Amino acid sequence: MPKVKTSKSNRLTKYVNEFGKEIFSTDGEILFCKICEVKVASEKKFTVVQHISRDEHVSGLRRRELNRTNRYPQCNL
Ligand SMILES: [Zn+2]
């Protein structure tokens, strides 16, 4: 029985779902980080994890959170 090969786009979609649609997007060919606005190497999960732990990414994420908090300071439901 032949092994079912997971297609590239399936893998990329899995990363988007796993890490969040706010963080990553994909067109089926590349994984794109919306926070840093860069293409992320996605050959291995390790490289994706490595990207989201980068200072640049983390501070971008924090900046995004701050913006959201400032915009809705009373929204604490
Ligand atoms: Zn990033």
19 contacts 46 by C-beta, under 8 angstroms: no
Does 20 fall in a domain? yes
Does 2 fall in a domain? no
Q: Measure 4 CA to ligand 1 centroid, in angstroms.
A: 31
Q: Measure 35 CA to ligand 1 centroid, in angstroms.
A: 5
Does 74 fall in a domain? no
d(CA 32, CA 48): 10
What would the mean pLDDT of 60-72 be, rounded to a whole number?
A: 83
Does 63 fall in a domain? yes
pLDDT tens string 9-44? 999 999 999 999 999 999 999 999 999 999 999 999
Helix pair 8-19, 45-52: axis angle to 10 deg: 30
User: The domain containing residue 40 runs over which residues?
Assistant: 8-67
Q: Measure 6 CA to ligand 1 centroid, in angstroms.
A: 24
Q: How many distinct structural domains can be found in the chain?
A: 1
Q: Measure 34 CA to ligand 1 centroid, in angstroms.
A: 7
Q: Which residues pair with 25 in a beta bridge?
A: 32
pTM: 0.78
d(CA 16, CA 72): 26
